[in-house]
Amino acid sequence: MNKERRTSIIGGSLLIIVGGILFAAQILPDFLPNIWDTISWPWAIIGVGLFLFALGAALGEPGLAVPAIIVGGIGGILAYQDYTGHWESWAYLWALIPGFVGFGIVLMNLLGGKGKDSYKDGGTLILISFMLLAVFGSFFGAIGMGGKYWPVLLILLGLFLMGRSLFRKK
């Protein structure tokens, strides 16, 4: 299956799901809560991410999956902070953004089939993102696993980066 068919099928499926949920909320107001009562301002940012993804699917451009995931992911972080009031979590949640880029690269390759190296690159970004999240989350006291030993996470991240470049095939 070529990339235009894949992106059209996934984009069409996404639009059907979102449209079905919104339609069901209007038809069955007693069974489903009013969707507009539960949506806050960060959902507009998530909506822009969904729009970018749908636009990429409609145009047959899987490369738009990367900015769509970045924008939608930042909207998800802001939605979490808005619902919980835990705004200081931005001190370490920003570390998820490289992971959003990596996830977007993996999704782009699933839709467009760019090759195996791109999966590895996307996976590496996701891994680095989670390691940064663990380091900064431990440093700022949000993740209890690091505690006073959070510098060990920095050492592990450094060893990972050095080992990756030393043992890479040429």
pLDDT at 78: 92
Output the pLDDT for position 28: 66
**First vs last C-alpha separation in the chain:** 32
Task: Bin 76: left if φ > 0, else alpha if -120 < ψ < 50, else beta.
Answer: alpha
Is the model's pLDDT at 102 over the cut of 90? Answer: yes
Is pLDDT at 112 greater than 80 in this prediction? no
The average pLDDT across 67-91 equals 90
- Tens digits of residue pLDDT in 117-138: 778 888 889 988 988 888 788 7
**129-139: b or e for each residue (b if 16 or more CB lie within 10 Å)?**
bbbbbbbbbbb
> What pLDDT was estimated at residue 115?
67
Question: What does the pLDDT look like over 134-165, one tens digit per residue?
Answer: 878 877 766 665 556 667 767 777 887 788 77
**Nearest Cα to Cα of residue 125 among 95, 145, 151:** 95
Q: In Å, how far are 19, 65, 70, 78, 130 from 52, measured between CA atoms?
A: 16, 7, 10, 18, 25
Q: Could you report the per-residue pLDDT of 13-67, keeping only the tens digit for each?
A: 777 777 776 777 667 666 555 555 667 788 889 889 988 888 887 777 888 889 9
pLDDT of residue 71: 95
